[in-house]
Amino acid sequence: MILPTLACLLLGVFSAFAQEAPPAKSEEDNGYAQISIFAKALELIRQDYVDENKTSYHDLINAAMKGMLSSLDPHSQFMDPDDFRDMQDDTRSRFNGLGIEVSMKNGLPTVITAMEDTPAAKAGILSGDQILRINGISTERMDLQDAINVLRGPSGAKITLTLLRPSTKEIKEYTLQRAEIKIQSVKGVRLLDPDLTGPFKIGYVRLVQFNEPTADELSKALDELQKQGMQSLILDLRNNPGGLLNSAVDVCAQFLPPNTKVVSTQGRVASQQHDYSTSGAKKERANFPMVVLINEGSASGAEIVAGALKDLHRAVLVGETTFGKGSVQNVMQLPDGSAVRFTTAKYYTPSKQVIQGNGVTPNIRVAVTPEQERSFFALRNAGNMKPEDEKSIIKARDPQMLRAIDALKGVMIYAQENAPKAQAVKK
């Protein structure tokens, strides 16, 4: 019979990993017995299922692994070899797709952010939009990776998305054309218009994502702004979906002293307990006043940076509570080129706040309506914001930026008024 052979094979695989696995919770939770049941079910399906072309061992076991990983949490998944190669492309700065970063939330693929300068952003898709249908096919029972596979692919193809916007209960349909997505992680570097900032020189930098070159590019941008006399800074992390953990830590190092802990991870096993600190070799910068802009589209690495700068009292956070993607996934490649990605730990800010499911809350909450957000980001993503129009556009459509400017002006006015008193005390 095939059953005993298959069961023995599966049990052999189980035995290879059993020595490293945590002890079972109870006697009933016996791996050997459960694998034997699985093998029996597998053989029954292969023997009697009506469509024989759907019952290969490869297809059935791959489907079982997809179900197993997806049952754990929205961020754990099984990836076949093609999916695994696509995931590796995420750490590069170029791929083909619509420019939507998605995650599972409440059982539906949900937009974390529509990346800047992409078809999705230009169409007006917003963070929090829930994808109900892709090309007319319901996503209710769709695996996250299957959804991503449809969203990505050769450039030029058209994809129709049906979205629910929870904030307004609107259902909208978009037909988008895939394009090559090129990500420039540091954007908008400039001193803000004096008509907005008054006598103060307030710098502005927007981080779109955390990739390998992000920290170095940010360092160069800050050097240039400081040469121009920057007195304070607005760091815009709105709609930043994250990226590489080390890049986020290195960004923190631009604003914090060397060897400062910015985030920690905690999991079930000792190997998942880590503290991540700024490098001891990084140069220290002037301790200029700083505001970080955040919204629901700020996730993962953006939440690590925002949480650290808030907890360590280095910056004031302005905007709305972030997405709440604060878990660590390990990716383990399997012998056939596929891989399993599963959650092994959660991120904690320096004050031990859990990011996962909670997000990072701003010091100063400034809400924006979906229409304000859509119109402002649509203008910015379309490249229509001319320097001479920036002031009026910000005043009319970006209350978060206005509140950030006001907060920094207040801090600098206070510092100016108290500077003589501080000097007198020193004497």
Query: What does the DSSP assignment read for 344-362?
Result: EEEEE-TT--B-TTT----
Q: Of these residues, 127, 219, 247, 300, which one is catalytic?
A: 300
Helix axes 214-227, 245-252, angle to 10 degrees: 20
Q: Of these residues, 325, 327, 398, 409, which one is catalytic?
A: 325
Which residues face 177 on adjacent strands?
158
**338 is known as an active-site residue:** no
**71 is known as an active-site residue:** no
Q: Of these residues, 83, 143, 311, 398, which one is catalytic?
A: 311
Among candidate residues 368, 213, 237, 345, the one with its CA nearest the CA of residue 293: 237
Distance CA 130, CA 152 (A): 17
Distance CA 227, CA 220 (A): 11
How does DSSP classify residue 140? T
Query: What does the DSSP assignment read for 214-279?
Result: HHHHHHHHHHHHHHTT--EEEEE-TT---B-HHHHHHHHTTTS-TT-EEEEEEESSGGG-EEEE--
Query: What does the DSSP assignment read for 272-314?
Result: G-EEEE--TTSPP-----EEEEE-TT--THHHHHHHHHHHTTS
**232 is known as an active-site residue:** no
Q: How far is CA 145 from CA 84, 236, 256, in A?
A: 10, 29, 37
The dihedral of CA 15, 17, 19, 25: what is its sign?
negative
Which tokens go with 101? 């970063």
Which residues face 210 on adjacent strands?
243
Distance CA 51, CA 49 (A): 6
Cβ-count burial 319-355 (b if 16+ within 10 Å, e if not): bbbbbbbbbbeeeeeeeeebbbbbbebbbbbbeebeb
Which of the residues are catalytic?
Answer: 300, 311, 325
